[in-house]
Amino acid sequence: DALLSEVARDIQRALLQADVNVELTARLTQRLKARATEEKPPAGANMRDFLIRIIYEEIRNILGENRPYDVKPKRILLVGLFGQGKTTHAAKLARFYQKKGVRADLIAADVHRPAAIDQLEQLARRVNAGFYADRTETRAEEIARAGRARFPDSDVLILDTAGRSGLDEDLLAEIRRCKSAFEPNEVLLVLDAAMGQAAGRSAGAFRPGRGPHGRDPDQDGWVREAGGA
């Protein structure tokens, strides 16, 4: 009982420092105590390792198992605020799918920041992905539509959109137009992993009541405030 209480306190402290929701933290520690009482450690396992394994399994259950890769052609729309890593993540995503043995192509639709187009073009060249941009077009949805036409045989087509320092109606309207023109199979919200619980509020603001198909916490390395995951 003393060891269980100690581990539960350590887990609570670590989760709260990582900005994990208080109610979720309480639920996890309750599950830890319940399972530790009901189950017995496997032969040869010490109690502390057994308790840590329980927490790992419970967190995995919350986050969900890895989904099998779907080889069907798909279009992915990336959305997010400025500085969250969308453009870099677009190239990372293309490289991820390339390693699965499929063709991935990139479309630059940030009509408000020319540097983002240049950045994505350089990244596309680096990962050997197809690239489309139109620096004379001011309507992101038209770039999305033309990009689809440019890559009719793409296995995975990724659209990088503009961000803002804050969420506003102009950004949401532009995303809606891009979504209509691009007709994505998936909409991914790219977030800085250090946002903590603010990630949930951001996801809700982008698609009120529904949320995006997925959230991709970006930025390399481990961060303390990863509670948004």
Q: What Cα–Cα distance (Å) separates residue 71 from each residue in 10, 36, 100, 154, 156?
A: 42, 41, 9, 12, 9
Same domain, 124 and 204: yes
Domain total of the chain: 2
Same domain, yes or no: 112 and 198: yes
- For residue 54, the domain's CATH number is 1.20.120.140
Same domain assignment for residues 175 and 194: yes
CA 196 to chain centre: 13
DSSP per-residue codes, the chain:
-HHHHHHHHHHHHHHHHTT--HHHHHHHHHHHHHHHHH--PPTT--HHHHHHHHHHHHHHHHH-PPPPPP-S-EEEEEE--TTSSHHHHHHHHHHHHHHTT--EEEEEE-TT-HHHHHHHHHHHHHHT-EEE--TT---HHHHHHHHHHH-TT-SEEEEEE---SS--HHHHHHHHHHHHHH--SEEEEEEEGGGTTHHHHHHHHHSTTT--SEEEEESSS--S--TT-
- Claim to verify: residue 162 and residue 52 sit in the same structural domain: no
Highest mean pLDDT among 63-77, 139-153, 173-187: 139-153
**Is residue 68 in a domain?**
no
Which whole number is the average pLDDT over 100-123?
Answer: 95
| Residue 59 sits in the same domain as residue 84 | no
Are 148 and 157 within 8 A, CB to CB? Answer: yes
At 145, is the pLDDT very low, low, confident or very high (cuts 50, 70, 90)?
very high
In a domain, 227, yes or no: no
Residues 80, 53 within the same domain: no
Two structure tokens written together for 161? 């959109």
Q: What local confidence, expressed as pLDDT, does residue 225 receive?
A: 37
We report the CATH number of the domain holding residue 153 as 3.40.50.300
Do 85 and 124 share a domain, yes or no?
yes
Is 189 found in the same domain as 108? yes
Same domain, yes or no: 96 and 206: yes
List the structure tokens of 75. 């279009």
Is there a domain that residue 228 lies in? no
Q: Residues 155-172: what's their mean pLDDT?
A: 85
Tell which of 11, 31, 63 closes a domain.
Answer: 63
Residue 179 belongs to domain spanning: 74-218
Q: Answer whether residue 6 is part of any domain.
A: yes
pLDDT one-digit tens code per residue, 3-26:
888 888 888 888 887 767 788 888
Band of residue 159 on the pLDDT scale cut at 50, 70, 90: very high
pLDDT at residue number 44: 83
Q: Mark whether 83 and 106 lie in a shared domain.
A: yes
Which is more confident, 148 or 72?
148
- Whether 189 and 113 share a structural domain: yes
